Amino acid sequence: MNKQASVETPPLSHARDLTRPGFYVKLVLMALVNAFGLYGIFASWAQEQWGILGFLVVTLIIADYVYFSKRAIPAKYLFPGLVFLAVYQLYVMGMTGWVAFTNYGDGHNDTKKAAITQILATSEVEGDVSYPLTVVERDGELGFAVVQDGQPLFGTADEPLAPLDGATVDGDKVTAVDGATVLQLNDIVQRQDAVLQLRVPMSDEPEDGSLRTRNGSTATQSLPALHYDEAADTLTNTEGVVYKADDKVGNYVAENGDVLKPGWRVGVGLDNFKYLFTDSRVSGYFLGSLGWTFAFAILSVLTTFALGLVLAVIFNDPRVKGRVVYRALFILPYAFPGFLAALVWKGMLNRQFGFINQTLLGGAEIGWLTDGNLAKLSILMVNLWLGFPYMFLICTGALQAIPAELTEAGIMDGAGPIKRFFNVTLPMLMVSVAPLLIASFAFNFNNFSLIYMLTGGGPNYPGAPFTVGETDILISMVYAISFESQKQYGLASALSILIFVVVGIISWLGFRQTRKLEEIM
């Protein structure tokens, strides 16, 4: 009987699961997860993104096992967090590390095949062959319809010319297309820019050229001015100049030094890191930004901690009346979003119309944000305003956690207030506060929002190879390299890795000292 009961238990348990509403909710949710996952798998397959495809397949298999198995109960709670960790942390870190060792950026943002196609397309010259043109809009996309050897053809910017079914042809021109709209002259005039910029490939082969139009009524076949020799991997122009592929820099280069653009992504090893330290056009700006980043982070921590500690000590004294009200007032700067406060301060520090110059200084025109040194001072003062409430809060809590017996013992030993503070209160305080000071240093080392909102990194250095200013810290320099002027993602990623290494080393050293302090105490 016991054996029979043990054999019948799983089916009964499974039957009970089928009667629970939660099972059907889980079934619906997992069906949605699998549907989105399969969509991502097919999309990755179509785009040949094999890494993403493999990740999705493995993730779906594990998810189905975890949420339909009774043996993986802990994993049901851990799995979502691990997936988000892999996507938003590990993948980002891995991609940043990979990009740092490439030339990825403007002019080198695609594969070699795509670069060749783009070079041939941008080097096209107008040929002698022309066709009566019909501009057609189908599924919200513009395209060209022409008649070639009696056969109606249609193509778009992304799809080369192909036979067109359901077309009405009058002589040598398409006049109507089933399921599409033929643009009339007024429509073409209204959308003139889009029509004139449209380029429709003649075929899948770049050397066959493309169709372009100057007036919307006639299309001319444009042919590449360069010839690509696949066997030799060279491009030759009409004048006989040969451009050879240089896989070290990712460009086609002629013997006279001329370079064809765009190029393609290639690995460059440590070149991005060397560029920051050895190139005379960059190293000065980089080292200056590095020094200011350290100064900004260290001074921000010291000033905010000093002011927060002084106020915490003062308002921790029971003799001060109204301490609750004062503490609430001191927290107010911390309650406002930092980027909004930075914008308010930017207005107050305006040279011509700011409250500080016009009201407090009687109409003076001091360039708080336009002079390099004053801009750095302004950043430190604004960050002091934003940061001291946090230090005030943690110091207040740490002071209240110090046992009163220690202070009483100091009084019994005859120690005065100053001696008790430095020999008893401060060491005990640092045990609790030191890790938070390290975290504050790491935060200020990457305090992008304050720099960006207050000064934008300016005033900018004239003649720099990329947009960089006197108040740029490393993280804002990364932003400038990535998204302002010429985009150099490889260089920006290399700089991001350096920031990670610096913050990691400083944090490691700081926590080592914290552990030593705890051992002493």
pLDDT digits 0-9 by tens, 321-339 = 888 888 888 888 888 888 8
pLDDT in tens, 374-410: 999 999 999 999 999 999 999 998 888 888 777 778 7
In the predicted structure, residue 345 carries a pLDDT above the cut 90: yes
Cβ(211)–Cβ(146) below 8 Å: yes
Helices 73-85/50-68 angle, 10° precision: 160
In which band, very low, low, confident or very high, does the pLDDT at 297 lie, cut at 50, 70 and 90?
very high
Lookup: tokens for 382: 């604004």
Mean pLDDT calculated for residue range 450-465: 90
Element housing 167 (H / E): strand 167-170
Start-to-end Cα distance in the chain: 66
pLDDT of res. 9: 46
**Which residues are registered as beta bridge partners of 221?**
211
Helices (H) and strands (E) in the chain, counts: 20, 16
pLDDT at 7: 45
Spatial separation of the C-alpha atoms in residues 208 and 388, rounded to whole Å: 67
Q: How far apart are CA 267 and CA 286, in angstroms?
A: 23
State yes or no: pLDDT of 6 exceeds 70.
Answer: no
Would you state the structure tokens that stand for residue 365, as one six-digit string?
Answer: 């025109």
CA 496 – CA 484 distance, rounded (Å): 16
| Confidence bin at 16 (pLDDT 50/70/90) | low
Helix axis angle, 489-520 relative to 474-483, nearest 10°?
160
Task: Look up the pTM and report it.
Answer: 0.79
DSSP string of 287-348, one letter each residue = HHHHHHHHHHHHHHHHHHHHHHHHHHHHTTSTTSTTHHHHHHHHHHHHHS-HHHHHHHHHHH
Q: What residue ranges define each of the domains in the chain, with the CATH number in brackets?
A: 2-100 (1.20.58), 112-260 (no CATH), 276-520 (1.10.3720.10)
Place of tokens 């990825």: 104
Residue 261 has pLDDT above 60, yes or no: yes
Of 321, 335, 319, the C-alpha closest to 393 is 335
Segment 99-123 shows an average pLDDT of 91
* Local confidence band at 115 (pLDDT 50, 70, 90 cut-offs): very high
